[in-house]
């Protein structure tokens, strides 16, 4: 009986390490703060529709700046997710293995959709409506990687 319990413990530990491996790329809070500031400023300045659905959405091809993403559907693996607050607003960030980032502000439904895929590194997509800010109007999480 003791050996069976030990085997089950080892198996459980093995699976927990696999789940933790999906969250391996911590992002400096200063980078998050900079990105939030840039996207918020740009979305409000050009009134691009990024403010639709109750909050700002956006993204970027790199972590250096916002935008430069293709219009239409953009597909990625939700590899690392992080929550950030500026004291008033809540942001959910997704950092795909393909690079860049996506985020949403104060939108519980979009955050839950992102986080569902992020747990397992699943395939996700956003429909970009403004390539200069990465603003998107829809997001989807698929049940596969």
Per-residue pLDDT reduced to its tens digit, 109-145: 888 888 888 888 899 999 999 888 888 999 999 998 8
Structure tokens at 119: 């747990």
Residue 21 belongs to domain spanning: 2-141
Cα(53)–Cα(102) distance, integer angstroms: 16
pLDDT given for residue 41 in this prediction: 78
| Collapsed DSSP state (helix, strand, coil) of residue 120 | coil
CA 123-26-124 angle, 5° bins: 10
Average pLDDT, the chain: 78
Residue that wins the pLDDT comparison between 66 and 128: 128
Q: Indicate the number of domains in the chain.
A: 1
105 close to 88: Cβ distance less than 8 angstroms: no
Residue that wins the pLDDT comparison between 98 and 20: 98
């Amino acid at each position: 009986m003791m050996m069976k319990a030990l085997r089950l413990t080892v198996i459980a530990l093995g699976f927990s390490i696999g789940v933790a491996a999906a969250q391996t790329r911590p992002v400096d809070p200063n980078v998050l703060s900079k990105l939030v500031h840039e996207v918020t400023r740009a979305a409000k300045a050009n009134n691009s529709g990024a403010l639709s659905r109750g909050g700002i959405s956006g993204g970027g091809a790199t972590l250096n700046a916002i935008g430069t993403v293709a219009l239409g559907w953009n597909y990625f693996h939700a590899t690392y997710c992080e929550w950030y607050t500026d004291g008033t607003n809540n942001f959910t960030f997704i950092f795909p293995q393909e690079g860049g980032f996506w985020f949403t502000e104060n939108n519980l439904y979009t955050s839950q959709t992102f986080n569902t895929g992020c747990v397992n590194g699943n395939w996700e997509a956003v429909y970009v409506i403004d390539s200069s800010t990465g603003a998107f109007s829809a997001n989807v999480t698929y049940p596969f990687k």
